[in-house]
């Protein structure tokens, strides 16, 4: 059996067991790279004449139930669910290699710490380790709730300390430079300008932007209805520059796009009439930053940070920013504070730099 690498090198794993050990280290360290690679899962099922059997089949139903639980009962976003499920599968793949034949009821804390120690030795970042621990804790809590196991082996796992990095924030001048770098001679120019204005003018997450529907726009009231993490709804005010750009895009560009069936309600479409993807928004923003001569690492989330920072610097109330960003608390321990809609609009209109401009 052979594994195909991106550089097309063919490696015979059965004839090179030493290399296989290296491959296991490399694959688990680069979980994202191998997440959808059938070779990785199959590799674990064949090692030294098949003496180590892959356990995924026996726990497949548990993982599927866990996936439904995360989506339906917990209301987690698709990306979070996908990451948790992928990480749990990697743990069991490691388990089948390191502790052949162990049942799900026989798993103890030392098995989990062995896995985490292995990832640490491989150089996995603390943030990735923390995500994996979170996924494993959720999985074993689910198994306890379903009476599949009696004790939770993940209960005593400690999350590694993660250094808090300061987010990248653009200046008002840099955002203006990006807007000016947009080529308005093409229809996509008006769309991209509207995207930038909405991201910066409302602080939306990129996942919220690509899922934005026409039925969620309330221009007369000045609000966008946002469906955020956990399917939680919030109303976010958008200033005049944002509505101005949206209006031009919707009435002069989008109305002429032949929309594919099923996507009639989506706001931001590609030229083929389908919703833009998260990846496409990343590409658009990075390209605009490059054209504007900005050296900072720019992503859609950069505009969310800039939105919050500029409001705070301008004097906006911290609780109002918290509400508009869709954060349940200012810190992870504080209780959610409700802010009325009028207060939010006042903070946007008074303190957002774009709303001080004349359209």
Query: CA-to-CA distance for 324 and 344, rounded, in angstroms?
Result: 7
Catalytic residue among 64, 68, 272, 336: 336
DSSP 143-186: HHHTTS-SS-TTTT--PPP-PPPPPP---HHHHHHHHHTS-TTS
Catalytic residue among 53, 86, 213, 229: 229
Q: Parallel, antiparallel, or unpaired: how do β-strands 217-218 and 233-237 relate? A: unpaired
Catalytic residue among 53, 234, 260, 301: 301
* Catalytic residue flag (residue 186): no
340 CB neighbour count, 10 Å cutoff: 10
Contacts of 3 by beta carbon, 8 Å cutoff, 6+ apart: 10, 11, 13, 23, 39, 43
Catalytic residue among 76, 89, 90, 304: 304
* Catalytic residue flag (residue 245): no
* Catalytic residue flag (residue 301): yes
Query: CA-to-CA distance for 103 and 193, rounded, in angstroms?
Result: 55
Catalytic residue among 205, 245, 310, 352: 205
What is the number of residues in the chain? 359
Structural tokens at position 119:
């990832």
Which residues are the active-site residues?
205, 229, 301, 304, 327, 336
């Amino acid at each position: 059996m052979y594994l195909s690498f991106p550089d097309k090198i063919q490696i015979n794993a059965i004839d090179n067991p030493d290399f296989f050990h290296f491959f296991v280290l490399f694959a688990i360290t680069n979980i994202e790279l191998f997440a959808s690679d059938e070779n990785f899962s199959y590799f674990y099922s064949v090692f030294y004449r098949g003496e180590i059997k892959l356990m995924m089949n026996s726990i497949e139903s548990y993982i599927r139930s866990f996936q439904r639980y995360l989506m339906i009962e917990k209301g987690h976003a698709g990306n979070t669910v996908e990451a948790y499920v992928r990480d749990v599968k990697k743990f069991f793949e490691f388990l089948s290699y390191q502790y052949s034949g162990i049942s799900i009821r026989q798993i103890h804390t030392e098995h989990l710490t062995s896995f985490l120690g292995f990832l640490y030795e491989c150089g996995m970042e603390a943030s990735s380790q923390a995500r994996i621990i979170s996924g494993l804790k959720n999985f074993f809590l689910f198994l306890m709730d379903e009476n599949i196991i009696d004790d939770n082996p993940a209960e005593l796992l400690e999350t590694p300390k993660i250094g808090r990095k300061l987010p990248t924030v653009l200046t008002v001048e840099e955002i203006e430079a990006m807007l000016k770098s947009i080529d308005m001679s093409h229809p996509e120019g008006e769309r991209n300008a509207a995207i930038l204005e909405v991201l910066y003018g409302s602080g939306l997450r990129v996942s919220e932007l690509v899922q934005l529907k026409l039925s969620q726009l309330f221009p007369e009231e000045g609000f966008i209805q946002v469906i955020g993490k956990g399917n939680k709804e919030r109303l976010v005010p958008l200033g005049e520059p944002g509505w101005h750009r949206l209006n031009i895009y919707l009435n002069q560009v989008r109305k002429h796009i032949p929309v594919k069936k099923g996507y009639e309600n989506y706001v931001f479409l590609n030229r083929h009439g389908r919703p833009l993807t998260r990846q496409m928004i990343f590409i658009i923003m990075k390209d605009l930053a490059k054209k504007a001569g900005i050296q900072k690492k720019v992503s859609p989330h950069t505009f969310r940070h800039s939105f919050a920072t500029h409001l705070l610097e301008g004097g906006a109330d911290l609780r109002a920013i918290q509400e508009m960003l869709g954060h349940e608390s200012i810190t992870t321990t504080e209780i959610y504070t409700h802010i009325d809609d009028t207060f939010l609009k006042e903070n946007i209109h008074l303190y957002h730099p774009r709303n001080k401009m004349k359209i």
